[in-house]
Structure 1
Amino acid sequence: MSETQTQGTTTQGRAGTPDAQDLAGRYSHSMIGVFGTPQRVLVRGEGTHVWDADGKEYLDLLGGIAVNALGHAHPDVVAAMTKQAGTLVHVSNFFATPTQIELAERLLELAKAPEGSGVFFTNSGTESNEAAFKIARRTGRPRILALEKSFHGRTMGALALTHKEAYRAPFEPLPGGVEFLPAGDTAALEAALAPGDVAALVLEPIQGEAGVLPLTEEYLRAARELTARHGALLILDEVQTGVGRTGEWFAHQAIGGLQPDVMTLAKGLGGGFPIGAVLTFGEHATGLLSPGQHGTTFGGNPLGAAVSLAVLGTLAEDGLLEKARTLGTQLQARILELAGRDPRITGVRGAGLLQGITLAAPIAPQVVVAALEHGFILNAANPSTLRLAPPLIITDEELGSFVEALPALLDAAERAAASTTDEKRS
């Protein structure tokens, strides 16, 4: 079928590509609408920039929500994908492959995991957290603790660990036994663990979907000490914070001596290719799942493993973890300096290249729309927080261009918010 024959008559845009209006219409007629209306139809990416179907260029400050660690069409990723696709793409997990084994060894090395640790490969963050949920169940203890404002995924087990009622309510009853505690409240955590029947405590070092809310070092250390004392697993969800995003291989490594029992990964691990992982630390956690008790069809396939090895190699060779730390510090300083002149900005929080800019008014969604019009892609993590999670290859100059544009974006957002209010009144 020719391009012009697909779904009837097709209007051609730039370079023979169907135009944005046509593609958006086809999207709405062919896709289940769980994501709403797409903000744009993107057709190409290179480095830190993407282009839409109308040819407009954008600076990508979201990185596929902390996924595109090396940006778009990175030559190392393209080369690894092309080479592996020419030899072996997929085998069942009845068999092993060299790339799968090498990637598992590399992750254990980067995590400084002790002897007896192990890796289980998945395809996404929610699948990693499903596996972690099952590991917790295998302790035989009935209770699992998670935090208020947590987000761990959309599948049923991961959703049971997710706090937001709007996500949970349509799909109840969810798997039971999960209780939510206020983040940072050590006394509440100690009280919840005291009966001795808690299987696991599940934490995000930085609660990304909640608005880039870091847990304090004091709380994370207390979580490690208390779970160990009461025989519960400490499960760290590093799906968004892992693989260099915060300037460490894994965010918890910024705290010396802190090691979880289980860690979940995805997003940046494949630099855009779908792959996730669960790491279990030590023989006790590793031995909780026995043969036949869990599985996956595509997890750890040789293509995904080869791409992930290329991502990890490039992050190390190009010094991108140190760069993320440096750029994150510089970005925070710029935002705070701007906040000193513009009361509409109240602060910034996060680590490395996962940052949340806080606003005085709940206009973050309108800022996102204005940013698109000005050629920037970012995200409203909540009504008053802008989330930035750009590719780790981004430059200081590119980040600076956004900071310089931010006041104008706030102006446009305020006008849009005022217009909406007027329309509601009329």
Structure 2
Amino acid sequence: MFEGLAKRIQSVFAPFGSKGLLKQEDIDQFLKDLRWLLIEADVSLPVVNELVERLREKLKPQTGIVSPQDYLLKTVYEELTALLGSYRPLRVNPRGISLYVLAGLQGSGKTTTAAKLGYFLKRNGKSVVLGAADPYRPAGAEQLRVLASENGLYFESFVENGKVDIAKIQSFMKKSLHDVLILDTAGRLHVETDMLHELSMINKQLNPQEVLLVVDAMLGQEAANIAKSFKEAAPVSGVILAKADGDELGGAALSVAYVSGVPILFMGTGEHIRDFEPFDPNETAAMILGIGNPKAFLRKIMDMQREMEESKPAAKGKDEKFDMNMLLEVFESISKESLIDYMARALPVNANVDPEMLEQGKNRIKRMKAIIQSMTPYERKHPEVLNASRKRRIAAGSGTTVQEVNLLLKQYGSMKKFAKNPAQLKKMLRGGLI
């Protein structure tokens, strides 16, 4: 996320790395360059003007006590964080089920976002129901049902005779023992009076804890204009930035909260159901400035570990044997989560991560997976039986070499000896320490 903007901003800071003094003319040139850079990144003009004016008031000539580059970076980081708004958690209903209504335009990723939000809340101990409330797109209800089924969420349809059945929703909420109901409401091709009226009626009759607007981050500053239009006509309480991983310039993230007056609460950070996280202004400002976001990477590893632990049957305990099946499971997790890419995004832009090295790491994991997948079930459980002929067969079947098979077996042996017991080793592996 925001890699394009981060690289451009780093180029604005770069000339100050060798300066010992910061003069007024240096500040003026810096602000001029920053202004044009943000405009080119599709940041809303009112946001650009506000940030530049705040910086103009704060930045003063420096006489060498602090590095000019560090001084500029620190000041811009503080003002960016303030401009992005402050994070707040979702409001909850202390006396029953919490209702979150999702709204948005067609193509914004609203239905997928409903499932991601539900899964996020489920991971935090909530019992979540995904509710279909879009009478104009029957396929949307089926998509929501499938997403709920695949991810351990509950599903309920509230569309009857081509309309949203408010009475059914009220009855369901009154009787339900679940913690959260997420309503996926109708989308439109553009902001329409009918849609906004429908959203207002749902709000008046159901009194939800949140009305969350899902906007496509790849729309740039237009996402802020959409949020503003919704806010002026309907009771939107928060924004979810969908597809933020595809936004290289950060125009939406920088514009939405300031222009619309509605706080950003969550971001979709990838295609996987787990790629969804609370919007943190501090972390977002760090990514935009290209100074890295290790907290997000560590959080990703912890989520992976927890998910893998929860997916295992309770019956498997201390007697579970570490074998090639467990190792394959780890490699599958890393591939599925794109953990290598995630790690690269967590590093500062100027860390100069070699793309070829990242690709080599991905390919190496693919080849190791292929080696294990070419083993028989017995060989996976008892890799000690692998003699020369078996290794040649496995190498031929996986499209690798005998040397690579031997290297994997050597690494497997080292991992097995690392921990005093399989549970400890398993925990290490699932934390990403390989």
Larger strand percent: 1
TM norm. shorter chain > 0.5: no
Whichever of the two has the greater Rg, that structure is 2
More contact order relative to length (CA 8 Å, sep ≥ 6): 1
Q: TM-score, normalised by structure 2?
A: 0.29
